[in-house]
A = this chain, B = another copy of it.
Amino acid sequence: MARASCKAGHRRVVTRTQPQRGSTVAPTMRDIALATGVSQSTVSRVLSGTPTAVPIAEATRQRVTETAERLGYRPNPLARGLRGASTMLLGVIVRDVTDPFFAGAIEAASLEANRRGYNVVLGHAHQSADEAVALWGILEARHCDALLFLGDLRDRPELIEDLKDTSIPVVALWHGSRESGIPTVSVDNRAGMASVVDHLARMGHQRIAFAGPKRLGDITEREDAYLQSLARHRLARRPEYLVDAANDFAGGVEALDVLMDLSRPPTAIVAPTDVLAIGMLHAAQRRGLRVPTDVSISGFDDIPVAAVSVPALTTVRMPTQAMVVAALDLVIGPDAAVTDSHPVLQPELVIRASTGPVPTHPAEGA
């Protein structure tokens, strides 16, 4: 029993300021070893539970586990990580937390990571790619087991280069392109956008506008898909129906005003994100336009608030959870080895109340 009072161990106990009541100072493996009468390495082998090369008696296992429980032992991730082991940390870098869509994505990622025993270290880039670069360094240094990028990175080519030969697995979601050489999980923007335009065209709309930021993540693909859908329906592509707008509520407000101030305003506006669309809903009401009687507005993403906007927003539901699951499968999941696959998931059109038949007497501006 107490025969394991080896010299080194004993000296240690003297060094430490008493075994403590365990509440203030976290017990270490050594404490457990001492209390159980085994060596610290045995404790490590038992508690880590890894299929060890050396055998451990069941009775010993029992005693160790019991003592650990009693002392309230919790492993020190720092020491564990130092030795090169997994830190069970998932780094998530996002360009903008306040974007409700990304907030939802973080939620999903955090949920899924926790389910797999991982914790999430959140890196917030505040819309600035420079900060994203810095964060990458930080998170890599923190020995995250994997890195999740949410949103667009392409304006930062050198970051992508670095990412490619980093030691930890990286995956990008809503990155806007599968060409960049890093693993991505994406949504079929083309199909999603096509379903919206089809829906509007079926209701007779011919003057369909689009407003969104240029060259930002998936939005670029959505714009392209919008143009292609117009062509498919043999609808004229009018330059004034393609306006630039910041991807926030205010951007939507401005874009709607610009579009409806045209001498021939569109009868429907396709927004590449719900955030923009909700801004448009607001702007429409403010200038006395009824949605969808006077103008139809559609979004993309299906963020929670889209279901309760006034009127409820027709949008394209993003398979966020499935995408996150796929992403985690790629980097920490069972298929972690398959690093060059690029899953593309399908979105789903959700028809609510913000789109309707083309107005018989199209409303003129204001």
Contact = CB atoms under 8 A, between A and B. Distances in A.
Interface of A: 23-26, 74-79, 81-82, 87, 92, 97-98, 100, 103-104, 106-107, 110-111, 114, 119-124, 126, 131, 137-143, 165, 167, 248-250, 252-253, 278-279, 281-282, 285, 304-305, 307-312
A279 B310 CA distance: 10
B304 A253 contact: no
A249 B309 CA distance: 10
Contacts of A281: 308, 310
A143 B82 CA distance: 14
B122 A110 contact: yes
Q: How many copies of this chain?
A: 2
Contacts of A311: 285
A144 to B, nearest CB: 11
Contacts of A111: 124, 126
A248 B308 CA distance: 11
A56 B92 CA distance: 39
A249 B141 contact: no
B124 A121 contact: no
A305 B278 contact: yes
A97 B75 contact: no
Given A74-B141, A110-B122, A124-B114, A307 B103 contact: no
Contacts of A75: 141
Contact of A82 (B79, B124, B141, B248): B79
